[in-house]
A = this chain, B = another copy of it.
Amino acid sequence: MYKACIISTGTELMLGSTIDSNSLFLSQKLSALGLRVIARYTVGDNREQIRSAFKNGLEDADLVIASGGLGPTRDDLTKEAACEVAGCGMELVEEEVVRLKEFFARRKRDMPKENLKQAMFPPEAIILRNSIGTAPGMYLKKNAKVLVLLPGPPREMEAMYLNEAEPLFKQDFALDEQLTAGRTIKVIGPGESQVDEMLLDVVNNPRGCSLALLARDGEVHIKVTAEGENTQHSQQILEAITRRVEAVMGKYVFGYDEDTLAGVVGKLLSGSGKTLALAESCTGGLLAEMITEIPGSSGYFWGSVTSYSNESKVKLLGVKPETLDRYGAVSRQTAGEMARGILERSGADFSLAITGIAGPDGETRDKPVGLVYIAEADKKDRVIIKEMHFTGAREAIRNLAARTALDLLRREL
């Protein structure tokens, strides 16, 4: 199996305010091709650091692929550093000078002389076309190693990778087997630490397998990665560990990989020919948004009222003013009337209603931030109302409320 090393350069990446999305993109693409990514280096615009990344990469990997630092400024050092490490001289490529001049001419500008360095390349390199910006990339094969330089802006990098670089890899590497296999098992209900505890015995006995937990908006995603001798073996390990996780997590498992909770609920609704309407208060449209994110949701989703004021609860949902006066907008009673109100007005088979205090303001003595009532009503006049106490920031509370409502309906269906 071929080994790859990914390098990203750029001082702005070192501050942690930007996700290094280039590394992620390249990791995915190279793994999908069947290369094993052994390391990613992210370094600032510093010649020493960049050189040492290339040096390590070329020592350990068959393919070193870097993005960033191909621009015209003094901070753009990647090509110089890479060629130095690879032991290649550079010369001006006349064809590239012409291309650069045209790029600027089309934009009615003179080419700054700094840009000339973007036309310098080692004679043995293949120059990769940039369909968007000024910086060409390069592909260099030397001593059975491949060195690839791509521009930093993600759009330019992705286009150049897909159109120019990947076809060359496919020629130069005999790519066949994938030695790793992965799957995400998605769980709702227990928190991350509960899942962690439940899986303790599975985690401690992994046999060619690693498990990672990721808590996301009230869901816990269990990422399983298996590594075997060949494609089939990896798949076997993956299936075995998946069965073990499922056995432990039971009904909390709602889906896999790209599945979303709203998508799973949508499939259940359309499979049974049922329709849904919503009344949202504290989630403010979030639940409707999750549901309508799914293509085809218009087949089972009637619509929703986001009643963010008492007035809209009365006018659009028929909540009784007395109920609001007596119990407040955040109450078991209001939640129930919201669910019944939208069910009647819509004629849908099911309705969900959510009212609560998402914070940070709006807390009262009896009603703390995080108190949420979730109601589900159906045509048999059944109303289920759950009182929940969520913790976290506004966004987390809204997310937990919306997902808990979806999960309530999922279990019903």
Contact = CB atoms under 8 A, between A and B. Distances in A.
Given A155-B215, A284-B291, A285-B292, A27 B15 contact: yes
Contacts of A206: 73, 75
Interface string A279-319: 01011111111011101111001111111110110011000
Interface in A342-397: 345-347, 359-362, 394-395
Interface-central residue, A112, A312, A360, by most chain B CB under 10 Å: A312
A315 B46 contact: no
Contacts of A223: 12, 17-18
A321 interface: no
Contacts of A73: 204, 206
Contacts of A308: 288, 292, 297-298, 301-304
Interface string A319-349: 0000000000000000000000000011100
Interface-central residue, A289, A291, A301, A359, by most chain B CB under 10 Å: A289
B16 A31 contact: yes
A33 to B, nearest CB: 12
Q: How many copies of the shown chain assemble into the complex?
A: 2
A347 B314 CA distance: 14
B204 A112 contact: yes
B312 A284 contact: no
B284 A289 contact: yes
B193 A132 contact: yes
Given A17-B28, A155-B193, A285-B287, 19 more contacts: A11-B180, A14-B36, A14-B37, A14-B39, A15-B180, A16-B27, A16-B29, A17-B182, A17-B184, A39-B44, A40-B42, A72-B204, A152-B212, A282-B292, A286-B292, A293-B395, A298-B309, A304-B306, A315-B345
**Nearest 5 interchain pairs by C-beta:** A284-B292, A16-B27, A285-B288, A285-B285, A303-B312
10 contacts: A16-B24, A38-B43, A39-B42, A40-B42, A40-B43, A52-B60, A114-B204, A155-B192, A285-B285, A303-B307
